[in-house]
Amino acid sequence: MHNMRVVVAGGAGFLGSHLCDALLERGDAVVCVDNYVTGSPDNVAHLVGRPGFELTKQDITESFVVEGDVDAVMNLASPASPKDYYELPIETLDVGSIGTRNLLELARVNDARFFMASTSEVYGDPAVHPQTEDYWGNVNPIGKRSMYDEAKRFSEALTFAYHRKHDVAIRVVRIFNTYGPRMQPDDGRVVSNFITQALRGEPLTIYGDGQQTRSFCYVADEIRGFLALLDSDETGPINIGNPGEFTMLELAELVTELTGNDAGIVFEPLPSDDPKQRKPDISQAAEKLGWEPSIELREGLTRTIEFFRTALAL
Ligand code: NAD
Ligand code: UDP
């Protein structure tokens, strides 16, 4: 199912830019739509001028049109790191509601398939471990992360409403922590923080006691999962992530080893509502999409450290 014309909202972000690369690489045309609030045109500068690639600066919460045929609409637009959505709470709720609605309308009028980038955050601080797609989650609706979690939960609900009411063909992915080249060094996420701190010879900042867990997926694996879902007949929601589970202490030790940093670790307060554990159950992705990740954390971190070394000139 290649040679589509795909609108990628949030295409100038970390994941979006890798998605634009992958779509073009397999022969699809891409209309990248982004307002650069947390992304940057630098992430897709290498694609400008390439046949089949269009770049438009547009806030998707405002009404807009895309001229010409559209075969798929992929919604990756949203502040995504906790630091970003703490700073942009209203924008995050707007893009997850009004923005998603505008893109669903774009898909509906074009009879295009709609891909929604949801998140493991819909599970909140999960009481079920590992997280399966049928778990409804444990989200604080007014907590520190609520602008993000509830925006994504609303986006999922709206996406399914368009599917049921208007028969829009939908694909909902629940993305677990993803890392790799083109992450913003200052986005405040744990992988970017640890690597930039280590490369600068500073101590790594662990929030809380470091016993909380996350599962980290390398970006190339994640994007391969997106395309497998896009091309399938599955509505989802479907978890795409790497089930390898690490404490933040283990992650800090691995980054320390791979960078040779000798500044050690410092402990800082844990932000409220920080999930204690997170690990995807990916049996649906394996069974329905034939997808599984292939890049181990050690290998992916090595590649990411190289990217940051160059980006930060360290
Ligand atoms: P990112 O911040 O790098 O990319 C998001 C992009 O959306 C940015 O380029 C930003 O400028 C754009 N954007 C935000 N609001 C917009 C608006 N109103 N109009 C147009 N563009 C807008 O983040 P990312 O890590 O690449 O995340 C991409 C998507 O994947 C997000 O929807 C995020 O919630 C989801 N996700 C990411 C992860 C992860 O680990 N990276 C995990 C779960 C879910
Ligand atoms: N974290 C940390 N040190 C940092 C940044 C984050 O210990 O410098 C912790 C954070 O409290 C959380 C985990 O690492 O428990 C993952 O944080 P991130 O912001 O990357 O993603 P999310 O919490 O959204 O999974």
Whole-structure pTM over 0.95, yes or no? yes
From 78, 103, 278, mutation site for ligand 1 pocket: most ligand atoms within 8 A of C-beta: 78
Residue nearest to atom 1 of ligand 1 (CA): 13
Q: Where are the domains of the chain?
A: 5-180+217-243+280-294, 190-211+245-278+300-312
Ligand 2 atom nearest residue 177's Cα: 25
DSSP 8-state secondary structure symbol assigned to residue 87 = H
Share of the chain above pLDDT 90, in %: 99
Length of the chain: 314
ipTM associated with this complex: 0.98
DSSP 8-state secondary structure symbol assigned to residue 202 = P
Exposed/middle/buried for residue 163 (C-beta within 10 Å: 0-12, 13-18, 19+): middle
The amino acid sitting at 171 is: R
Residues 6+ apart with CB under 8 A from 238: 133, 172, 173, 174, 229, 284, 285, 288, 289
CA of 78 to the centre of ligand 1 (A): 4
Ligand 1 atom nearest residue 99's Cα: 18
CA of 79 to the centre of ligand 1 (A): 5
pLDDT in tens, 10-40: 999 999 999 999 999 999 999 999 999 999 9
pLDDT in tens, 149-205: 999 999 999 999 999 999 999 999 999 999 999 999 999 999 999 999 999 999 999
275 Cα distance to chain centroid = 17
Nearest alpha carbon to residue 28 among 73, 60, 59: 73
**End-to-end C-alpha distance for the chain, whole angstroms:** 42
Give the Cα separation of 20 and 32 in Å (integer): 8
Task: Catalytic residue, from 85, 86, 123, 148: name it.
Answer: 148
Is the confidence at residue 2, as pLDDT, over 70? no
The reply to whether CATH 3.90.25.10 applies to domain 190-211+245-278+300-312 is yes
Cβ 36 vs Cβ 104: under 8 Å: no
pLDDT in tens, 234-266: 999 999 999 999 999 999 999 999 999 999 999
Residues paired with 280 in a beta bridge: 131
Tell me the CATH class for 5-180+217-243+280-294.
alpha beta
205 lines ligand 2 (CB under 6 A): yes
